[in-house]
Amino acid sequence: MNKPIPFQKNDYVQVEFEDLTHDGAGVAKVDGFPIFVPYGLPGEKANVKIIKIQKGYAIGRLMELLLESPDRVSPLCPIYKQCGGCQLQHLSYEGQLKAKEKHVRDVLERIGKIKDVTVYPTIGMEHPWRYRNKAQVPIGEREGGLTAGFYKKRSHDIIEMEKCLIQQEKNDVLVQTVKNICEKYGVQAYDEKNHKGTLRHIIARYGHVTGEMMIVLVTKTKELPNKKRIVEEIVKEIPTITSIVQNINEKRTNVIFGEQTKVLFGREVIYDKIGDIQFAISARSFYQVNPEQTKVLYEKALEYAGLTGEETVIDAYCGIGTISLFLAQKAKKVYGVEIVPEAIEDAKRNAELNGINNVEFEVGEAETVIPKWYKNGITADVLVVDPPRKGCDESLLKTIIDMKPKKVVYVSCNPSTLARDLNILEKGGYKTKKVQPVDMFPQTAHVECCALLIKK
């Protein structure tokens, strides 16, 4: 029998928070019934208003803090509570790192049923601000002028934003400069309600090591009004700009990019480096947004792979070849597979750029291509996976179990699906030896991990 819900909507209850959810809200319980409350921290007592009741939990609003956590800090960002970009600015950085480690431990035990595994403390950043090398900013109109900012939580209302404390400063300057120039030349913002107007997004990309900069103007129309003048003025205002491109997205969609991209100034790509490897980044390339911590994560993957130069490695979900090229420095041969054709083109270009010729890349679903390789006699000593948030496809996990590589290195951006997949691999004859959380996204609730599994 279901227990009765101990309160009603709009009731005020006094609670003590005991944990954080995967997206950073405080967790409290009243008679065993969970309430999730944004901005609550473990150990705090508070008065909370119940604003929504769902089947197995309620959502509350923090009304008054009665006992504060010693880890609570004042958020540095003035629009922190309106913007949905960060979730943990009210928690000290040390507190964030501990919370992320705890979250990884908890899901490994609860979802993965894995108890005896070493989970190391989260590797954080010395300066956990201004780390994002890519800004994707939607454009709207307000009182006849353009507005650039981020969407308000759970809405498509744009909050005006001149600087974002987790964005690289140069990207803030690029976005504001370009917005002002477009406004001066009468460019209209795209209106998603009536599917009219021109400018949808301004995207800025910055090479962390090289300092190269790219601007992408995403437009609904094929033509950008006053294009020549706009480009000339951007180059005049930002003489160090490397690349200005226009991406055309004519569809009624909330997907940012369209299929067609044309160069308006400079090169089609900018270059950046992670460790010793150089990467060419186009407007639509997937490239990790925190290169400093990406290096930490990939070095950990390389360390866990323990390569001697004799191994064949398969990199499932290889993207633009970031991990593959790292591994190729120490492996005999690396095979990479990725479903996005443009990413594979980038991967091949990046291998050529670095003079790395012991890698092969193929377009397709990992769960289709890897069994085909296996049939053709390609087996891996080490298999590396870095899947999207939904984790590995079940048929890929089955192929890994059939292929029996000595080691599996699992790089994950979602501890819950990591735990689920590790459980399947453990049942298939693997043992999870160690897991290293890495803080790629300070001030947010996200955490990346690198896990090592050994064939039993």
Q: What are the residue numbers of the active site?
A: 413
Buried b or exposed e, range 296-319, using 16+ CB within 10 angstroms:
bbbebbbebbebeeebbbbbbbbb
Nearest to 86 by CA among 27, 180, 166: 166
Q: How far is CA 222 from CA 199, 217, 251, 261, in A?
A: 11, 11, 12, 10
Contact call for residues 219 and 246 (beta carbons, < 8 A): yes
- 395 token code pair: 């048929």
Who contacts 166 (Cβ-Cβ below 8 Å, separation ≥6)?
Answer: 85, 86, 129, 130, 131, 132, 441, 442, 443, 444
Contact call for residues 365 and 373 (beta carbons, < 8 A): no
Which residues are bridge partners to 329 per DSSP?
none
3-state class (DSSP) for residue 128: coil
Q: How far apart are CA 336 and CA 325, in angstroms?
A: 10
Burial (Cβ within 10 Å: 0-12, 13-18, ≥19) of residue 433: middle
- 219 token code pair: 């437009």
Who contacts 253 (Cβ-Cβ below 8 Å, separation ≥6)?
Answer: none
Nearest to 341 by CA among 399, 397, 285: 285
- 435 token code pair: 């897991």
Q: How far apart are CA 335 and CA 303, in angstroms?
A: 18
The rounded Cα 301 to chain-centroid distance in angstroms is 18
The tally of CA atoms less than 13 A away on the side-chain side of residue 383 is 30
